[in-house]
Structure 1
Amino acid sequence: MLELRHLSKSYASGHPVLAKLSHRFRAGEFVAIMGESGVGKSTLLNLIAGLDAPDPGAEASPILIEGVAMSGLDDDAATRLRRARMGFIFQAFHVLPHLTLRQNVALPLLLNGLPQERAGAMLAAVGLGGRGEDFPRQLSGGEMQRVAIARALVHRPALVLADEPTGNLDPDTAHEILCLLRAEIKANGSCAIMVTHSHAAAAMADHTLVLTKEGLQKTTLVNRVAQTIS
């Protein structure tokens, strides 16, 4: 599904943040990534999404998605790939203030020429059923995060990238949302990569990787919650 091959990224100052990172992520896999602040977790998601460019290096195609080299795509082709095959859950939500909640969630469906009925079902799935005509200004931070999650999943993307998706949610709601995320991944055969500082959130994944300066290392964290709902 997703392959990283000697992926490297440095800041504008020249300070390296990721160095020769290699890993394979498979379809149907829910992976949590943990690590200290500043180690490059969010940068990694941005690179995978094509929102940032890796450093030039010996590896001509450091990021492949479903066998497609991101480095070989022009801006239009990369945009089409993101729109059709990816779903994003950003820390900053990026919920559009001038659209209703239903319109926000339906946006990926509209852009991909898909029927928009699923937007209402996804709003209900994140606990916001009946609020489709509300606007983001009427929501709390946690509610906006739930809208962002519904929007990321509505078009059944092949790859879901989630940056602290439960950071603004109470523990019970976080558990419900992660159960939904896991169920959608398994039902659609998608791959999800979730950056999190929460051990409770990471325990919902199939396995957890720790990002360090040496690369991605599989941790011994036992994902008991995931095992009970598989």
Structure 2
Amino acid sequence: MLALNKLSKTYAGRPVLSELSWLFRAGEFVAIMGESGVGKSTLLNLVAGLDQPDMAPASGPPIVLDGVAMSALDDDAATRLRRQKMGFVFQAFHVLPHLTLLQNVALPLLLNGLPQQRALDMLEAVGLQGRGGDYPHQLSGGQLQRVAIARALVHQPALVLADEPTGNLDPETAHGILLLLRNEIKSSGACTIMVTHSHAAAAMADRTLVLTSSGLQETTSVNRFAQ
């Protein structure tokens, strides 16, 4: 589903990621942990095509998503791929304040020219049925994150990228949000990569990887949700 092949990124002569290789499978929920500054958010930005990796190695393109080499795409093609194949869940929600909840969730459908009925279905799935006409300022932080999850999944993306999705939430709300996210991605079959500092959040994933200067390494702990 998503293949990293000797992915590297250097800023101002300083290597942030060095020859990172890993294969992420469809339907898999993976948490990535690591110290601050090790390159976790950089990794998500590279996968999303929001940043460009160092020159591709002779062994092949550094990022391949659903059979497509990201390095072969121009800006317009990368935008289309992002719009069609990816969903994003951010720590700061990024729900648009001037749009209703229904309009926020329906935005990916509108951009992809898809029927918008599924936006109502997703609001119901995240427990916000009947709230479609409300605006973001009327919601709590946990409810806003539910809207963000509904928006990320409404167009049934192949890949969901989550960057500290519960960093602004209290532990009880965070647990509910992560359980909701896990259930929804398992239902849709999306591959999901979640960057987090929280061990409690990582425990909700199928497996946890730790990013270090030496690359990605899988932890030996097994979470209670793993199949």
For the aligned pair, the TM-score class normalised by the smaller chain equals over 0.9
Distance 1:77 1:115 in 2: 22
Instruction: Give the match's secondary structure for 1:179.
Output: helix
Instruction: Give the match's secondary structure for 1:64.
Output: strand
Instruction: Give the match's secondary structure for 1:142.
Output: helix
Which residue number corresponds to residue 74 of structure 1?
A: 74
Which residue number corresponds to residue 95 of structure 1?
A: 95
Residues 110-165 of structure 1 deviation map (CA, whole Å, 9 limit, x = unaligned): 11122212212322333333221122233343332222111101111110000111
Whether the aligned pair in 2 keeps the contact of 1:18 and 1:213 (CA below 8 Å) is yes
Which residue number corresponds to residue 20 of structure 1?
A: 19
Instruction: Give the match's secondary structure for 1:43.
Output: helix
Which residue number corresponds to residue 174 of structure 2?
A: 174
Which residue number corresponds to residue 42 of structure 1?
A: 41
Matched, 1:195 2:195: yes
Instruction: Give the match's secondary structure for 1:128.
Output: coil
Structure 1 counterpart of 2:187, which letter?
Answer: A
Give the TM-score normalised by structure 1.
0.92
Distance 1:90 1:184 in 2: 16
Structure 1's unaligned 5+ residue stretches are none
Residues 80-108 of structure 1 deviation map (CA, whole Å, 9 limit, x = unaligned): 11111110112232222221111001101
Distance 1:188 1:137 in 2: 29
Structure 2 counterpart of 1:55, which letter?
Answer: D
Bigger mean CA offset, 62-71 vs 182-191: 182-191
Bigger mean CA offset, 82-91 vs 181-190: 181-190
Instruction: Give the match's secondary structure for 1:33.
Output: strand
Aligned ranges for residues 151-170 of structure 1 at < 5 Å?
151-170=151-170
Which residue number corresponds to residue 141 of structure 1?
A: 141
Distance 1:130 1:170 in 2: 25
Which residue number corresponds to residue 110 of structure 2?
A: 110
Matched-pair identity in %: 77
Distance 1:46 1:121 in 2: 29
Whether the aligned pair in 2 keeps the contact of 1:149 and 1:165 (CA below 8 Å) is no
Distance 2:103 2:29 in 1: 28
Which residue number corresponds to residue 10 of structure 2?
A: 10
Matched, 1:30 2:29: yes
Give the C-alpha shift of residue 193 in structure 1. Answer: 0.4
Aligned CA distance change for structure 1 residues 65 and 52 (closer, same or farther; 3 Å): same
Distance 1:32 1:106 in 2: 27
Give the C-alpha shift of residue 57 in structure 1. Answer: 4.3
Structure 2's unaligned 5+ residue stretches are none
Residues 153-191 of structure 1 deviation map (CA, whole Å, 9 limit, x = unaligned): 111111000011122233333223222222232222220
Bigger mean CA offset, 36-45 vs 89-98: 89-98
Instruction: Give the match's secondary structure for 1:109.
Output: helix
Whether the aligned pair in 1 keeps the contact of 2:91 and 2:166 (CA below 8 Å) is no
Distance 1:219 1:54 in 2: 26
What is the Cα-based RMSD across aligned positions, in Å? 1.6
Distance 1:28 1:7 in 2: 22
Whether the aligned pair in 1 keeps the contact of 2:142 and 2:173 (CA below 8 Å) is no
Residues 34-67 of structure 1 deviation map (CA, whole Å, 9 limit, x = unaligned): 1111111111001000011111243451000011
Bigger mean CA offset, 33-42 vs 116-125: 116-125
Which residue number corresponds to residue 55 of structure 2?
A: 56
